[in-house]
Copies of this chain bind each other. A is one copy, B any other.
């Protein structure tokens, strides 16, 4: 339906095409892990969903693990963009409670977060995948922690803050996992508010 009858619009540059195809494959991978779970995920499924041929897929990602690692990196980039967007709306020193709310709202409560859990659990059984996923995770953790220590308003010792941060992450991880198989969708809301209440209690004293 291109109305222009001039020359057939030159194909985009190699770089553009490549980047677009890769991103389509990443999105398809993450979507499918969410929808059908990691166990059922196949490379053929991903290619079909992404709208690319099997040939194009293997051209960009010779092995399945290459694609999985790429999708995981892509996910951490989504998280990083969310962090930047959030911090742009916040003051220099972000109140802890606001930070926790952001973590739940923008990261952990998203269905795609489960994809990262499935990916990490699955990586346990595959040495190659495990090492590569762990390396990506190390990078992400460093970025996350740096942001945490420089932007969040904390009034406790470094040691306490570290344990508290990891506890918070465990709470959110547990809630995310729970959300995928509990029957009462509202249950997590009450749990989250209880966590915030306990946080206020703990920090005030």
Contacts and interface: CB of A to CB of B under 8 A. Distances in A.
A36 interface: yes
Report the copy number of this chain in the oligomer. 2
Interface string A161-205: 011101101111111011011010001001101110110011001
Contact of A205 (B134, B173, B201): B201
A181 B122 contact: no
Interface string A88-123: 000000000000000000000000001001101111
**Chain A residues touching B, majority SS:** helix
A37 B121 CA distance: 7
A40 interface: yes
A128 interface: no
Given A40-B126, A125-B40, A198-B198, A170 B181 contact: no
Contact of A171 (B40, B167, B193): B167
A137 interface: yes
A33 to B, nearest CB: 9
Contacts of A202: 197-198, 201-202
Given A37-B121, A40-B126, A191 B170 contact: yes
A191 B174 contact: no
Contacts of A162: 190
B180 A166 contact: no
Nearest to A117: B177
B205 A37 contact: no
A97 B190 CA distance: 21
Nearest to A165: B191
A191 B177 contact: no
Contacts of A191: 163, 166-167, 170
A38 interface: yes
A81 interface: no
A170 B160 CA distance: 20
16 contacts: A36-B124, A36-B125, A37-B121, A37-B124, A39-B122, A40-B125, A114-B121, A137-B181, A162-B190, A163-B190, A170-B170, A170-B178, A170-B191, A173-B177, A173-B178, A201-B201
